[in-house]
Amino acid sequence: DYKPGGYHPAFRGETYNEGRYMVVRKLGWGHFSTVWLAKDTATNAHVAMKIVRSDKVYTEAALDEIKLLRQVSAPVSSTESLYDSSKHILSLLDSFNHNGPNGKHVVMVFEVLGENLLALIKKYEHRGIPVMYVKQIAKQLLLGLDYMHRKCGVIHTDIKPENVLMDVGDVEAIVRMVEVLDKKKRDQKRSQRRATKTSMDLPAAPNSLSRGSASASLERSSSDRRMRRHTIITGSQPLPSPISSTNFFEMKAQMIGNSLPRPTACSSRSNANLSGGDDEQVANSLSSLELTTTADERPEDESQREHDIIQIKIADLGNACWYDEHYTNSIQTREYRSPEVLLGCQWGCSADIWSAACLIFELLTGDFLFEPDEGHSYSKDDDHIAQIIELLGEIPARLLSTGRHARTFFNSRGQLRNISKLKFWPLKDVLMEKYRFAAEDAETISDFLMPMLRLDPQERADAGGMVNHPWLRDTVGLEGVALSERKLYQSGADIPGWSQEVTGHPRH
Ligand code: ADP
Ligand code: MG
């Protein structure tokens, strides 16, 4: 992929936008781009630089992404609410073009954030994240989506754990720690090389920060999917320890550290916990650094606040579109794809709500809500629709009659063509029987998720109303936050573009 039309081979010390930004190291990558930590020499702060592949299709998509980002980054004056929900969307700081060996690349500059939510799910070994944190993430996600849909007229279309990033708090302190570790590693490598050179009299190895190490880090793609655990939790399995104040700070340091090049020996490990060998050294250095930096570098109240609240931001508007201009009907990542999209019906902002509910379930349990697979007599889509019916009941007649692909899956009597035996298993029972939630908790969670999983997108509850749900009332740090202008459980049908594209407007 590092070829003409592909990714740009960035390297440490390389400068961008007439010398303003200097590359420090890699932060992550996705299908469209590589993302780099860079120093902004104008402000002396660190930024995240997203360098898009240079092919025409990627460049055009990036120009749309910039327009959408400008829309969500523009301050919206509001008299309705005191709470600024726009802070839950990653904001664009700058954009420019950069010429490199593989062509001309669009570059977007953002504030630096930490790991995405998939890393958090993995950190809890796919057993579910503590409910206290799930509430914080869910409430902020809904506030962010409400802002995007109602204030900006933007639909994300790819809500999933990989595209929601955690805020690392004091970026500069973490960057300082990471730089110390980087230097230590470089020194180690250098002395190893020197030792090899003297003993074997061989020419020096190539610079470890050239393209070679960048492509090695591709093995730890942030978009890597995991294998689902097919087991049903039966007994009282030991739960991972909650995030304590000490390891939370370490975790934050890892948020940057994890997505960065490390020896390939650890690349196959799905769990982000550091232990053994070189990793152990890093972990040890992180804890000792923590001891030396805690007192001087982190103000008390700031660190206290950080320990209580996970902060998240919705990122990657690379597939986003407008309520009145859809770019494609092939939207959403498989597991988060809504029934209207599977069936080829009209869709709108409410498609994001479906994905958000799938994501919140996944945070609670560590498992996908729907994980379709193909069999010898049925397709992935067949299985997906069957799983949806098993959880939520029959597909409404309106979707069957308007869906362009409905006839592929259903016969004239409204029965699935390729799958006959369905096992109905309502959400509340799944939560109790498979995930061992107490009856009362299962009831509340099901009451919270079900309105966002309404099969008919016209009837699906909107993000703003769901912010007011009783389950989110005691969300740590957001106790008082409610949106009085939206009603709990009410559908978002009054929001323009809620369940279908608004037509007749000029192109953006
Ligand atoms: P793509 O459109 O190529 O999927 P994304 O915007 O999703 O690109 O970014 C790819 C990955 O880079 C993310 O999953 C995340 O791990 C990392 N990343 C993106 N933006 C930031 C940021 N502002 N701070 C830190 N890491 C980021
Ligand atoms: Mg992405």
Summarised one tens digit per residue, pLDDT across range 333-371 is 999 999 999 999 999 999 999 999 999 999 999 999 999
**Which pLDDT band, with edges at 50, 70 and 90, does 169 fall under?**
confident
**Which pLDDT band, with edges at 50, 70 and 90, does 174 fall under?**
confident
Residue 216 or 306, more confident: 306
Query: Whats the size of the chain, residue-wise?
Result: 508
Task: Report the C-alpha gap between 469 and 448 in whole angstroms.
Answer: 7
* Burial class, 379, CB count within 10 angstroms (exposed 0-12 / middle 13-18 / buried 19+): middle
| Residue 451 beta carbon below 6 angstroms from any ligand 1 atom | no
| Residue 35 beta carbon below 6 angstroms from any ligand 1 atom | yes
Residue 219 or 497, more confident: 497
Active site annotation includes 201: no
What is the arithmetic mean of pLDDT over 176-200? 80
Asked if pLDDT for residue 414 goes beyond 50, the answer is yes
Distance between Cα 115 and ligand 1 center (Å): 9
Nearest CA among 17, 55, 64 for reference residue 327: 64
The pairing of strands 21-29 and 15-16 is antiparallel
Distance between Cα 54 and ligand 2 center (Å): 17
| Res 180: pLDDT | 83
**Which pLDDT band, with edges at 50, 70 and 90, does 217 fall under?**
very low
Taking the CA of residue 35 as reference, the ligand 1 atom at the shortest distance is: 12
Distance between Cα 460 and ligand 1 center (Å): 29
Of 29, 35, 89, 312, which is best to mutate to test ligand 1, by the most ligand atoms within 8 angstroms of its C-beta?
Answer: 35
The answer to whether the CB of 259 falls within 8 A of the CB of 28 is yes
Task: Report the C-alpha gap between 463 and 142 in whole angstroms.
Answer: 5
